[in-house]
Amino acid sequence: MFTLITKRGGVTLYRKHLYVFDQHQPIPAVVRSYTHSDIPELLAIQQESFPPPFPSELWWNKEQLHNHITWFPEGALCMEINGQLAGSMTALLVDDAAREEDHPWEQITDSGYIRSHNPNGGTLYVVDISVRPAYRKLGIGKCLMQAMYDVVIHNGLTRMLGGGRMPGYHLHADSMTASQYLDAVVRGELKDPVITFLMRCGRTPVRVVEHYLEDEESCHYGALMEWNNPFKKNND
């Protein structure tokens, strides 16, 4: 069941009813745009999803969430299960040229405040995706990603782009470069909790970016990963 709801000002909000599966058990769920009343739960998702050594200064604050809802509500999505938020995903629009640049997360997302949002940008850039630990491996992250693909297509955008953490890299950093690690994950020789997840969602690697995010587990690298709008010609 899929409904597009247009609110005043021409902004299209998102609401989709579906089922996620806990083993064989279907669980009713809703993917929808998040709003101001969701902010306390969105803050909790961040705290649970990014435990130490991830720096707590990088968790969302109320001002950032207010900006997401205000500047680009189409890119502010969450999943609700039994009246509780299980996960969220946030994006902004940037120029297509962002794919060719080595940008840190702080620069392209305005440190998560998204004042850099360009309403005319052709690339939907992922600021964050997180699922509460108690709700992981149920397909929720994948549903959020697919909902954001809907946003790409609905808005006629070129692609989705975003720098994925590579939190398994620190376990191999003494024996391979970050690019070699990404290649090994892409070949299926290694699994990474985020990069493998992104690939299973349909994202493909562009390249590794040094100094992407303050993230010890990823040795501060990020893997730029894209998903091209299949209805656009320039995506070979």
Ligand X SMILES: CC(C)(COP(=O)(O)OP(=O)(O)OC[C@H]1O[C@@H](n2cnc3c(N)ncnc32)[C@H](O)[C@@H]1OP(=O)(O)O)[C@@H](O)C(=O)NCCC(=O)NCCS
Using rule CB under 6 A, residue 139 touches ligand X: yes
Residues whose CB is less than 8 angstroms from the CB of residue 194 and which lie 6 or more positions away in sequence, other chains included: 164, 165, 166, 167
In the complex, which residue's CB is closest to ligand X? Answer: 141
139: left (phi over 0), alpha (psi -120 to 50) or beta: left
Strand order in the sheet with 2-7: 2-7, 11-22, 25-33, 76-81, 84-94, 123-131, 159-165, 222-228, 204-209
Helix (H) or strand (E) holding 5: strand 2-7
DSSP conformation class of 184: H
DSSP string for 140-189: HHHHHHHHHHHHHHHTT-SEEEEEEE-TTGGGTTTTS-HHHHHHHHHHTS
Find tokens 């502010």 and name the residue: 76
Longest dimension (CA), the chain: 55
Is residue 218 involved in binding ligand X (CB under 6 A)?
no
Say whether residue 196 binds ligand X (CB under 6 A): yes
Nearer to ligand X among residue 142 and residue 170 (C-beta): 142
By C-beta, is 189 or 236 nearer to ligand X?
189
Among 36, 200, 204, 234, binds ligand X (CB under 6 A): 200
Q: CB of residue 194 vs ligand X: minimum separation in angstroms?
A: 5
- Kindly state the smallest distance separating residue 3's Cβ from ligand X, in Å: 23
Residue 152 or 194: the one with the smaller Cβ distance to ligand X is 194
Q: Which amino acid is at 3?
A: T
**Residues forming beta bridges with residue 83, ordered by sequence position:** none
Amino acid in the structure at residue 49: S
205 is a contact residue toward ligand X (CB under 6 A):
no
* Residue range at the interface with ligand X (CB under 6 A); choices 3-11, 95-103, 117-125, 140-148: 140-148
The answer to the question of residue 170 lying near ligand X (CB under 6 A) is no
Given candidates 66, 191, 216, 234, which one binds ligand X under the rule CB under 6 A?
A: 191
Contact status: 136 vs ligand X (CB under 6 A): yes
Among 137, 171, 177, 210, binds ligand X (CB under 6 A): 137
Among 129, 152, 157, 190, binds ligand X (CB under 6 A): 129
Contact flag: residue 190 with ligand X (CB under 6 A): no
Cα 142 to its chain centre, rounded Å, is 10
Q: Using the rule CB under 6 A, is 131 a contact of ligand X?
A: yes
The reply on whether position 142 binds ligand X by CB under 6 A is yes
Using CB under 6 A as the criterion, which residues of the chain lie in contact with ligand X when the complex forms? 49, 129-131, 136-142, 164-165, 191, 193-194, 196-197, 200
